[in-house]
Structure 1
Amino acid sequence: MSSVFDPSAYQSLLAPKVERLRELLAPFSAPEPVVFESPREHYRLRAEFRLWREDGQRHYAMFAPGEKHKAILIEDFPIASQRINALMPRLKAAWQASETLSNRLFQVEFLTTLAGDAMITLCYHRPLDDEWEAAARELTAELDVSLVGRSKGKRLVIGRDYAVEKLDVAGRTFSYRQPEGAFTQPNGAVNQKMLNWAFEAIGERDDDLLELYCGNGNFTLPLATRVRQVLATEISKTSVNAALHNLDENGVDNVRLVRLSAEELTEALNEVRPFRRLQGIDLKSYQFGTVFVDPPRAGMDPDTCELTRRFERILYISCNPETLAANIAQLHDTHRIERCALFDQFPYTHHMESGVLLVRR
């Protein structure tokens, strides 16, 4: 299925994804997936453009996969948020009017939120000087955004180096700091649906939760309100710092966060070797009932997958249904699929996000 923006074709493009997930999970007697649709347009909160010179001007541009020399010039971007579409022509006019802003500018990144915040990153093939900073401050005030300038080995921040998001889960609003350059869910409306699905799927528990790959705490915050306590892991220092801020900002005080990879935590729980970063944490004091995983596209490695088998419940969010199916195949003899969902994070493409709740047989 090729990427094509056509809101009238939305359902016909979604149907093959639903069928694909059904087929992949059919060997495991999965229930019918609950399907969470995306807004038809203005759903993407992030956008990244290269700049392409034509007729003496720089234009927003994208390239087809594998094609580096034939640019597709972009004037507007209907899949991106309304805020991004409003900012694009104003930013373009600013760099066209200013040699200081346009000189050696080669890439622009936008990050917006459902809460209305916006941050722009400008990337340069030259050092950034005081003249650039003065022009950038004027631009920041004019556009009402935060702005980050990047050049080799240097980063200048005008305003904040993060955007603020607010997401509603089961009647409560959670606030998130989303750092520049760190991963965030691109489709905010569908992300909010994922959070609510996960919140409902885990249920009200009187035991503990282990979370692997917690990122900035996207799922951690609401899920922590459903359990006694949480041990969460994340390897990215930027994401760990954001998650710690987000926990504090939202008054969530039953989470311990450690900067370990899923593989390292597996070694710790299997008592293969000790880790200084776990100093002061008694792993044996936890009464884990559920493990929550949201791994990268490669899925869980075999050892981590084997670790999750110990838990009564495995709540799994996946950005790759093939590796999800492979992981479930490893666990199928001890766990069955109780819930299944498809989240259409990436409409008009073949990509999908899915979720399953596995419970011990």
Structure 2
Amino acid sequence: MLNSDFSPAAYLAQLNAKQARLEHLLCEFNAPKLQVFRSAEQNFRLRAEFRLWREDGQRHYAMMTPGDKRTPILIDNFPIASQLINTLMPRLKAAWDNNEALSDRLFQVEFLTTLSGEALITLCYHRPLDEAWHTAAEQLSQDLNASIVGRSRGKRTVIGRDYVVEKLEVAGRVFSYRQPEGAFTQPNGAMNVQMLNWAYDTLGEQNDDLLELYCGNGNFTLPLSTRVRKVLATEISKSSVNAALANLADNQIENIELVRLSAEELTQALNKVREFRRLANIDLDSYEFGTVFVDPPRAGMDQDTCELIRRFPRILYISCNPETLAENIRQLSDTHKITQTALFDQFPWTDHIESGVLLERKTN
């Protein structure tokens, strides 16, 4: 059992500390009142990854003690994970305990679940996967009603599908998302819904175009596309681009052009510094961008990308690192001011802060 204080009082104390930290970082920019979105205290996480640890002749789910790779924390259940993950954990353990083909040199297990009730389980091995494993994995997939992915020395075997399908409601419309095994997805599904609705409401109805950098699998792209004339979205990860293209087709959205470029490359293209074959069929001059939406990695945006987005009247920024968010806002603060702020408790029981800000061009 993972020991921690999951009491409401402990949660609220940590959330208040996060709010104070974010407000302190944004106070120099005269930010408006922070809108705070709190998470469920348990069963909020849709993904989980465990090492396996042998003790008393059995394999157990485990996580390593922070800073100590030799001291495991053995886990029977995982309160922060979804109810579905907690249901699957003992059933999967019973399966490998009773089947050598499943347990032989199994060293890691990953769960990916959805709010809509789908599950995918990745089993990682220090050996090639043979026919006996394949037969056992097919039975396991049926028993658990979950797709199974086996990984071994750079090879991958898929039983079922290598993705789950999530369904999220934004402003009364349900969007369908393919979430591939091994690709990034928002871990806190219910909080993701709140983030999507906040971004949708904050953007508002616009009669111009949207540029999105770091679009991932189209998580924000799909609902935001219904608020503008058309969208140009960029992403560098191949698996995320493929998932995003499938999501555009599945949701029958036709006003989005998706390009596999980094934010830095798109900056070069828009500044006419360099031409890219991947943009050969896209007329950049036909866009009338009024808003840029960014959801960068923890490092934030580089200086050139900050200078690029400065040219847009509205900047909608989702951040997973308040320190780099503040650095980026500081660079933009001479031309833009913050008009809306939000804290999304995407990662309860950690110090991580997910936030959103709307910056609008100053009029004087």
* Structure 2 counterpart of 1:288, one-letter code: F
1:220 and 1:247 map into 2 onto residues whose CA distance is 9
| 1:12 equivalent in structure 2 | 13
Query: Secondary structure at 1:85's aligned position in 2?
Result: helix
Confirm or deny that 1:265 pairs with 2:266: yes
What secondary structure does 1:252 align onto? coil
Q: Tell me, in whole angstroms, the C-alpha distance in 2 between the residues paired with 1:139 and 1:278.
A: 45
Q: Write the deviation string for residues 165-204 of structure 1: whole angstroms up to 9, x where unpaired.
A: 0001000000000000000000000000000000000000
- State the alpha-carbon separation in 2 of the partners of residues 283 and 4 from structure 1: 52
Q: Is residue 6–residue 42 contact of structure 2 (8 Å, CA) maintained in 1? A: no
Amino acid at match of 1:6: F
Q: What's the RMSD between the two structures over aligned residues?
A: 0.8
Q: Does 2:234 correspond to 1:233? A: yes
Q: How many residues align?
A: 359
What's the offset of the Cα at 1:7? 2.7
Aligned to 1:25: 26
Q: Following superposition of structure 1 onto structure 2, how do residues 98-247 of structure 1 map, counting pairs within 5 Å?
A: 98-247=99-248
1:355 aligns with 2:356: yes
Shift of 1:157: 0.1
Question: Partner letter of residue 306 of structure 1?
Answer: E
The separation in 2 between residues aligned to 1:262 and 1:129, in whole angstroms, is 42
Structure 1's consecutive aligned runs of 4 or more residues displaced over 2 angstroms after TM superposition are: none
Which runs of 5 or more residues in structure 1 are unaligned? none
Report the Cα distance in structure 2 between the residues aligned to 1:7 and 1:311, rounded to whole angstroms.
44
* CA distance in structure 2 between the partners assigned to 1:338 and 1:12 by the alignment: 27
SS of the equivalent of 2:85 reads helix
Amino acid corresponding to residue 110 of structure 1 in structure 2: F
Q: Where do 1:44-123 residues align within 5 Å?
A: 44-123=45-124
After TM superposition, give the deviation of residue 251 of structure 1 in Å.
1.0
Shift of 1:4: 4.5
Bigger relative contact order (CA 8 A; separation at least 6): 1
Structure 2 equivalent of residue 296 of structure 1: 297
Name which of structure 1's ranges 213-222 and 59-68 shifts more when overlaid on structure 2: 59-68
Shift of 1:6: 1.6
Cα-to-partner distance string for 1:209-234 (whole Å, 9 max, x where unaligned): 00000000000000000000000000
Percent identity of paired positions between Structure 1 and Structure 2:
71
Q: d(CA) in 1 for partners of 2:137 and 2:283?
A: 49
Local SS of the residue matching 1:27: helix
- TM-score, normalization by structure 2: 0.98
- TM-score between both structures, scaled by the size of structure 1: 0.99
Structure 2 unmatched runs, 5+: none
CA contact (8 A) 2:42 2:80 kept: yes
User: What displacement does 1:5 show?
Assistant: 4.2
**Structure 1 pair 331–4 and aligned structure 2 pair: CA distance change class (3 A):** farther
User: Secondary structure at the residue paired with 2:282?
Assistant: coil
Contact 2:213 2:294 in 1 (8 A): yes
Q: Which residue of 2 aligns with 1:285?
A: 286
